[in-house]
Amino acid sequence: MTFHTHSLDNGLQIIGETNPSARSVALGFFVRTGARDETAEVSGVTHFLEHMVFKGTPHRSALDVNRDFDRIGANYNAFTSEENTVFYAAVLPEYVPQAVDILADILRPSLRVEDFDMEKNVIIEEIGMYDDQPMWSAYDHAKRIYFGEHPLGNSILGTADSIRALKRDQMHAYFERRYVAQNIQVTFAGNFDWERFVALIEKRCGDWSSGAVGRQAVRETPGSGSFRVLTRAKVSQEHVLLISSAPPADSPMRYAADTLALVLGDDSGSRLYWALVDPGLADSADTSFHEYEGTGSVLTSFSCEPGQAEENLAIVHQLLHDVQEKGITQEELQQAKSKIGSRVVRAGERPMGRMQAIGMSWTYLHDYRSVDDELKAFDAVTLPDIRALLDRYPVDQLTTVALGPLETLAPPGQNGKR
Amino acid sequence: MTFHTHSLDNGLQIIGETNPSARSVALGFFVRTGARDETAEVSGVTHFLEHMVFKGTPHRSALDVNRDFDRIGANYNAFTSEENTVFYAAVLPEYVPQAVDILADILRPSLRVEDFDMEKNVIIEEIGMYDDQPMWSAYDHAKRIYFGEHPLGNSILGTADSIRALKRDQMHAYFERRYVAQNIQVTFAGNFDWERFVALIEKRCGDWSSGAVGRQAVRETPGSGSFRVLTRAKVSQEHVLLISSAPPADSPMRYAADTLALVLGDDSGSRLYWALVDPGLADSADTSFHEYEGTGSVLTSFSCEPGQAEENLAIVHQLLHDVQEKGITQEELQQAKSKIGSRVVRAGERPMGRMQAIGMSWTYLHDYRSVDDELKAFDAVTLPDIRALLDRYPVDQLTTVALGPLETLAPPGQNGKR
């Protein structure tokens, strides 16, 4: 595998990992913009715009976009996060020129008013759908409560009100500001010629406008430390989320943070699994590390019968407190490394996995990481690294949010007060 | 890539596709037994037994099974279908000996009465969970109604009653009869040495007992042709399934059948998509080809607002009738080939995908198919092949099952009678 990188005159960046033994190609347009880059007035515009990108251009109707992708057998999609909007496709090598043609075309969408008005309803339905998923809803609230006024607390979907109030011209202004060439990176991985790829992108994207782009509030945050109970009578299970601080995406400590999260709350064989899931005290329980530009978080969540929530919360507190005090064992570290190694290798076996990995690595580090670089970095994590991580980012300094039928929930060690 | 095959003296078969450029190994134990091999008295025993396999052996508790898999970072699971029970894991090459050790051990489970009684509740809960998924429930009923007395109509999960009545000794007798060496095939794909793999399996499985195994009623069936409405007041959407006959898994016509199903009802850009999903007449609509030993089926399903079901059913009937009369277009065939090619190639990029593909191909054909063999077979499908398929297996001779709030639903062209 060989890695390449190139910048067009307008600032658009191109990166690629060529792999002659692969049989397909995955390519993605990474736009460095997300919910954190929105003001309150346009909350949800990034995600709504992601939808509008598939609604057509001066050269293609929405139908054409669908048909043209289908014609080349493309597996295509897009996603919006707090910091990125990514449009991607996987195709056979012979269809890369068409895939570039479609993706580059739709990334300059018409944003027609009729389509905008129609799609509004789709977005509002999607918001309603997520409202019906209590864990998602709890996560959205928990982020807001943890981050407080920090823009990483912004909702990705926005609210039905913010979407209803949004005007096509506001979206257009946002597009003009954020979808400039300097803010976009095109990534591919798989079996395709690098020079040819650059020529295809240059031809289609070379005239895209430039412009300065920034990002507000790139700073660490320890979280609000709040304890909140959000009562939802119609929800049957109680959903509890606990968030502590963690290193940002460009920190060398990210490998230790990922490893620690796995030991704490992987979906099998973790401390949380043995404490809550295996004995049947919770339906699900999970810990994950989330990394952003400037900051990060460790999120532990579980859902259970409402009557079990208080005991479970005490168990989780004790578990996190133990790890904070005593760290983890050499055996746990070793098991986590086996799991991570296996996952890194398997994710890297497909061009789609490599495209997403190198695209994200370039976005956050401006650095290329091969599968072996990643394996080495995880393999180098030691117990003292875990200790240093815990000292800097304590896992027992928590912001807690519960969503479900309960009206009150006593924080552990507070004798029933809240 | 190189393909190998070997039989042990007790009849157990081993196959493998070695790929020195892969970075992981996927391995699976394919037991040729499923719901179709059950009598009514033990309905659901195959799936229940799949669960019990993870509950321990004379050498390992259920906890040990979980811990030992975790220690080597294995991605492991199992599934039960009408005809197969498959246990599999993906690991890094250095952990293949441990993975074989665990899988071979658990395939000779203790079936302890205490575990059996505990797991019964888990299975009954799982049955309840699926009952809450109307499309799954409709599918289970539709299979029974389509296949009539043919054992392919057997429910995979069984019923709460059949599971409650099941005794540990009945499961043990089923295990003794169906999990014999002749009925098991071990498959691997990825970066591992063939001779070494055979030695590992020989050592762990060479003493497994032999025994004659057969399968009842391996014959084609055109389906019952029934039209049934199953009223479920609590379900909000109407779920409609239409089944027609199709070639069996070992038929050369399977490639044409897969292609036709894609043209009819792929989740994007198919006839069904443009007729029902794109205009918003149905929430979902889909056609798929199901192949078995001796027979096959084409299943079309959609879900929609109850008031829309009759019109949608008429649209689907017209659509299937048109295809039956006029076939499909060259452009549709070409687009389907692009999609299938892309999917076959991408599924084949991971050892897990290859392991499942070659394992199934060996189970049904006793033949090895490389990715290129598969691509060539699909590429060779012509419009006359589609015509021949339609003549032999008409897509408009249907068994129809609707499940949802409706009390009646008029079959198209019957002026309101049912």
pLDDT at residue A416 in the model = 40
Please tell me which of the candidates B24, B71, B346 has its beta carbon nearest to residue A24: B346
Tokens encoding A278: 């295996």
| Beta strands B238-246 and B399-404, pairing class | antiparallel
User: Which residues from A are below 8 Å from B341, CB to CB?
Assistant: 73, 92
A189 contacts A20 by C-beta, under 8 angstroms: no
What is the distance between the alpha carbons of residues B82 and B171, in angstroms, rounded to a whole number? 17
Rounded CA separation B367/B216 (Å): 23
CB A241 within 8 A of CB A300: yes
- What's the start-to-end Cα distance of chain A, in Å? 56
Q: Indicate the pairing of strand A13-18 with strand A2-7.
A: antiparallel
Q: Which of A75, A338, A350, A379 to mutate to test the interface with B (most CBs of B within 10 A)?
A: A338
Burial of A331 (0-12, 13-18, 19+ CB in 10 A): exposed
Q: Give the span between the Cα atoms of A106 and A62, in whole angstroms.
A: 10
H-type alpha helices, A38-158: 45-53, 62-71, 96-106, 113-131, 134-147
Kindly state the tokens that stand for B49: 């037994």
3-state secondary structure of A15: strand
Cβ separation A67–B349 shorter than 8 A:
no
C-alpha dihedral sign at A187, A193, A198, A199: negative
Chain B nearest-CA distance from A35, in A, is 28
Q: How far apart are CA B136 and CA A321, in angstroms?
A: 43
Residues of chain B in contact with residue A350, where contact means CB-CB under 8 angstroms, are 346, 349-350
Q: Which amino acid type is present at position A103? A: L
Suggest the residue from B55, B69, B349, B370 to mutate for an interface test with chain A (most A CBs closer than 10 A). Answer: B349
Give the rounded percent of residues in chain B with a pLDDT score beyond 90.
89
- What is the Cα–Cα distance from A263 to A334, expressed in whole angstroms? 10
Coil, helix or strand for B377?
helix
Residues in chain A: 418
Chain B residues closer than 8 Å to A348 by CB = 23
Q: pLDDT for B164-192, tens place per residue?
A: 999 999 999 999 999 999 999 999 999 99
In this prediction, residues B18-28 reach a mean pLDDT of 95
| Partner-chain contact A71 B351, CB within 8 Å | no
Partners of A339 on chain B (C-beta within 8 Å) are 70, 73
Distance between CA atoms of residues B390 and A95, nearest Å: 31
Return the structure tokens found at B326. Answer: 């006029």
Residue A362, pLDDT score: 96
Asked whether the beta carbons of residue B349 and residue A73 sit closer than 8 angstroms, the reply is: no
Closest CB to A345: pick one of B23, B70, B71: B23
**Cβ pair B34, B82 in contact under 8 A:** yes
User: Which band of pLDDT confidence, cut at 50, 70 and 90, is reported for residue B418?
Assistant: very low
- Model confidence at B324, pLDDT cuts 50, 70, 90, reads very high
Contact A66 B348 (CB under 8 A): no
How many CB atoms are closer than 10 A to CB B94?
A: 12
Which of the residues A268, A278, A337, A375 would you substitute to probe the B interface, choosing the one with the greatest number of B C-beta atoms within 10 Å?
Answer: A268
- Lowest mean per-residue pLDDT among A411-415, B102-106, B309-313, B380-384: A411-415
ipTM: 0.85
DSSP-assigned beta bridge partners for residue B78: B87
**Residue A132 pLDDT:** 78
Cα distance between residue A347 and residue A367, in whole Å: 19
CB burial string A11-43: b at 16+ within 10 A, e below: bbbbbbbbbeebbbbbbbbbbbbbbbbbeeebb
Please answer yes or no on whether B71 and A335 come within 8 Å at the CB atom.
yes
What pLDDT shows up at residue A418?
Answer: 39
Of B23, B269, B343, which is closest to A67 when you measure between CB atoms? B269
Cα–Cα distances in Å, from A344 out to A86, B27, B95, B356? 21, 18, 15, 21
Residue contact B73–A338, C-beta within 8 A: yes
Q: Flag the least confident range among A269-278, B215-224, B254-263, B367-376.
A: B215-224
B75: nearest CB among A23, A278, A346: A346
Q: Is A271 helix (H, G, I), strand (E, B) or coil?
A: helix
Q: How confident is the model at residue B41 (pLDDT cuts 50, 70, 90)?
A: very high
State whether A90 and B342 contact (CB < 8 Å).
yes
Q: Which two tokens stand for residue A402?
A: 């519960």
Could you tell me the pTM of the whole model? 0.91
- pLDDT of B96 over the 50 cut: yes
Banded model confidence at residue B216, pLDDT cuts 50, 70, 90:
confident
* Gap between the Cα atoms of A106 and A78, Å rounded: 12
According to DSSP, the β-strands at A85-91 and A238-246 are unpaired
Closest CA to A65 of A36, A39, A99: A99
Q: Which of B123, B108, B185 is nearest to B360 (CA)?
A: B185
Residue A119 CA to chain centroid, in angstroms? 23
- Residues of B within 8 A of A22 (CB-CB) are 349
State the average pLDDT for chain B.
95
Can you list the residues of chain A whose pLDDT is less than 70? 414-418
Tell me the per-residue pLDDT of B132-145, one tens digit each, with 9 for 90 and over. Answer: 789 999 999 999 99
pLDDT of residue B415: 45
User: Under 8 Å CB-to-CB from A354, ≥6 apart: which residues?
Assistant: A17, A19, A26, A189, A190, A348, A371
Give B375's contacts in chain A (Cβ within 8 Å): none
- Can you spell out the DSSP letters for B73-91? T-EEEEEE-SS-EEEEEEE
Which has the higher per-residue pLDDT, A418 or B305? B305
Q: Give the model confidence (pLDDT) of A149-158 as tens digits.
A: 899 999 999 9
Q: Across the interface, do B75 and A349 touch by the CB < 8 Å criterion?
A: no
pLDDT, tens digit, for every residue of B242-279?
999 999 999 999 999 999 999 999 988 899 999 999 88
At residue A400, φ and ψ (nearest 5 deg) are: -125, 135
Contacts of B371 in chain A (CB under 8 A): 23
User: What is the helix (H) or strand (E) element at residue A380, kind and residue range?
Assistant: none
DSSP state of A56: B
A71:B338 CB<8 A: yes
- Could you give the CA distance from residue A271 to residue A264 in angstroms, rounded to a whole number? 5
Shortest distance, CA A38 to any CA of chain B (angstroms): 31
Q: What confidence score (pLDDT) does residue B118 get?
A: 93
B338 vs A250: CA distance, rounded Å: 40
| Token pair of B50 as six digits | 């799949």
Q: Which residue has the tokens 């406008």?
A: A209
pLDDT at B386: 98
Neighbours of B19 (CB within 10 A): 18
Q: What is the dihedral of CA B45, B46, B49, B54, to 10 degrees?
A: -150
Chain A residues whose C-beta is within 8 A of a chain B C-beta are: 21-24, 66-67, 69-75, 90-92, 95, 268-269, 278, 335, 337-343, 345-346, 348-352, 371
- Count CA atoms closer than 13 A to B95's CA, side-chain side: 26
Q: How many helices (H) and strands (E) does chain B have?
A: 15, 11
pLDDT at B417: 37
What's the rounded Cα separation, in Å, for the pair A328 and A321? 12
Contacts of A371 in chain B (CB under 8 A): 23
Among chain B residues, CA nearest to A279? B63
